[in-house]
Amino acid sequence: MTALPTPLPTRRRELLERLRQPHTYDLAIIGGGATGLGVALDAALRGLSVVLLESHDFAKGTSSRATKLVHGGVRYLAQGNIGLVSEALHERSNLLHNAPHLAQPLPFVMPSYQWWEAPFYGVGLKAYDLLAGKAGLGPTEFLSVAKTRALLPTVNPRHLCGGVKYWDGQFDDARLALALARSAAVHGALLINYCQAQGLVHEAGRVAGVRCRDTETGHTLELRARCVVNATGVWVDTLRQQDSQACGRTSQPIVAPSQGVHLVVDRDFFPGDHALLVPKTADGRVLFAVPWLGKVILGTTDTPRDDLPREPTPFADEIAFILTESARYLQRAPQRSDVRSVWVGLRPLVKSGHDEGSDTKSISREHTVAISKSGLVTVTGGKWTTYRSMADDVLDKCQAAKLLPRLPPSHTEQHRLVGAPHTGIPTTALWLPPGIHQYGAEASLVQQLPGHDTLLAPHLTEAMVRFAARYEYARTVEDVLARRSRLLFLDARAAAAAAERVAAVLSDELGQRIATDDFMALARQYSELP
C-alpha cells in the first residue's frame, strides 16, 4: 500500500503572507460554510485561482448545526417536488462515496400508531426507493409490531401497530466541512478563517474585490478578484445591501431565517443502530431520534427568527415540544436534567416573491443564485446534501454572466475528499462513539504525533489537538471542542471540563496563549435549558 502524503500544513502566518501578495484571483468567496467550501473545491479543481475568507471558523454557523442527516428529501415528496428529491438522492450517493468515514447509510424506522399510517407512508417511501434507483441504500420494508420493537427497543409499545423501515444517510457535518476546506487547499485554493470581509471593492460600478480584516491582529488589506461570491448563509443580505448602497440602489432581503433546535441525550434512552422518524407530530412537525457519535439527537424545530445571532439560543416552547413529543414515542421520556447538550442552527430559507407570512415550513428548501447588476454573486438556501450540485450551479451561472471564462466540467462528482479511505476498506459506524476512526486514512498520521496515548477528554487525545492545530486550521479551544472534536455538541459539561487541557496543548502548538473564557461561556449556554 502506498504511504500517505504528509498533510498540508495550515500555518496561519504563511497563509496570511500568501494573502498579502499582490494578485488578482479568479474567484473570491466570502463564507466558509458548506456552500462556500463546496464552491472553493469545485473552482480549484477546474484550475481557477481561489481565495476563501471566513469571519469566524469554518462551519461555525449553520453548517455545523445540522440534524446530521444526508437525506434525499423524503418530506419533499409530499410537496410534489420530484426534481428536488431526485437531485438530493443523487447527491446523497455522491457524498457517501466521497467521504465514507464521515457520511454513511443509516436505517430509519417510522413507527405506526394508527392502522393506516404504515400503508400511507410506506407507499410514499416505496416511491422514494424508485426515484433513488441504483443510488438506493436499501429497500423500504413494512414491519410487524415485533420487528418494530426489535429495531427500536425503547419505542413506546402502547397502541403500536407496526412500522416502516427505510434508508437515508447521516454524517459529521463539521468534519465534512474541514475535509472540503483541506481538499480545496490541496488543489491550490487559499482558505483563511478568522478573516472578516468588511466590504466590497467597486470600480466603475462593478465588484472588483474585497476589503478584509484579520480578526486576530486587526490588520486590513484589499483583495482583487474577477468574481466575488457571497456565501454567508443567513447573513447574505448584509453583503447584498452593502453592494446595493455602493451602487446607489436598494435591495430587498431574500432570506427568512428559521431556527432548528436539537437536544442530545445518552444512548440509554434510545439504543440500537436505527433512527426514529415521526413524520407528523401533534402540531404537524417532524421529530427525529438519531443515534450519532455515541449519543442520541432529538429534534428538530422550525421557528422563524427576525434576528441573526452567531450563537442562537432555543426558546422554552421549543425545548418543551421536543421533550413532550419524545415522551409520546419513547418508553422512558428524557427529562430536562438528562440533556447533555442543546444547540441551535439557523436555516437560510429563501423567500418567494409573494411570501409575507411567518410560516417557514412552507418556504423553499431549494437554493437560489442571484447576480447583482454590479456582478456580486449571492448563493443561499439549499441543504448540506446538495452542496456539490449547488457549487456546480454557482460556477455555471458565473460563466453565463461572463464573470468567469469558459470552464471545463465539474470534477467533484466522484472526487474523494481528504481522509477518505481506500474503497473496500471497512469504516466504523457514525452512531458509535467518536475516535481515531473519524480521521479515515489519516488515522495513522494522527497517532504518530506526540500525545497519541494521552486522553484530554472522552475520545479526544493530545495528538488530535496537535493535528487540529497543524493541519486543520484550529485557532481556539472552541475550534477544537466544537468542530474538530464534537464534544461540545455531545456533552457540553465534559467539553468545559477539558477546556484548560486543550488550551495548554493549543498554546504549545500555536506559540501563543490560548484563553478559555469565551469557550466556558459558550459551554454554559450549551448545557443550560431556558
DSSP string, 173-184: HHHHHHHHHHHH
pLDDT over threshold 80, residue 365: no
Mean pLDDT value across residues 308-313: 95
Which DSSP string do the residues of 14-27 spell out, in sequence order?
HHHHHHHS--EEEE
Ramachandran quadrant class, 268 (left: phi over 0; alpha: psi -120 to 50; beta: rest): alpha
Predicted pLDDT at 358:
36
Is a pLDDT exceeding 80 seen at residue 285?
yes
Q: Are strands 190-192 and 50-53 parallel, antiparallel or unpaired?
A: parallel
Q: Which residues contact 168 (CB under 8 A, 6 or more apart)?
A: 69, 70, 71, 72, 74, 92, 105, 106, 108, 137
Q: Is the pLDDT of residue 72 over 90?
A: no
Q: Looking at residues 512-521, what average pLDDT do you find? A: 98
Confidence of residue 483 (pLDDT cuts 50, 70, 90): very high
State the Cα–Cα distance between residues 216 and 496, nearest whole angstrom: 23
> Tens of pLDDT along 80-122?
778 888 999 999 999 999 999 999 999 999 999 999 999 999 9
Nearest alpha-carbon partner for 479 in 55, 60, 10: 60
Is 364's pLDDT higher than 70?
no
How many residues belong to the chain? Answer: 530
The β-bridge partners of 51 are 28, 190
The domain 12-62+175-254+362-400 having CATH identifier 3.50.50.60: the answer here is yes
Residue with cell 422514494: 128
Domain boundaries, the chain: 12-62+175-254+362-400, 77-169, 258-350, 436-527
Grid coordinates given for 15: 497563509
Give per-residue pLDDT as tens, 132-188. 999 999 999 999 999 999 999 999 999 999 999 999 999 999 999 999 999 999 999
What was the pLDDT predicted at 282?
A: 80
Work out the pLDDT band at 357, boundaries 50, 70, 90: very low
Helix (H) or strand (E) holding 104: strand 103-112
Alpha helices (H) in 78-116, listed in sequence order: 82-98
Q: Report the pLDDT value the prediction gives residue 392, as an integer from 0 to 100.
A: 97
Q: Which of 206, 244, 249, 213 is nearest to 228 (CA)?
A: 206
Amino acid letter for position 121: Y
pLDDT (average), residues 283-299? 94
Whether residue 526 has pLDDT greater than 60: yes
State the CATH architecture for 436-527: Orthogonal Bundle (1.10)
Listed in sequence order, the residues at least 6 apart from 21 whose beta carbon sits closer than 8 Å to its beta carbon are: none
Domain 258-350 classification at class level? alpha beta
Average pLDDT over residues 318-343: 97
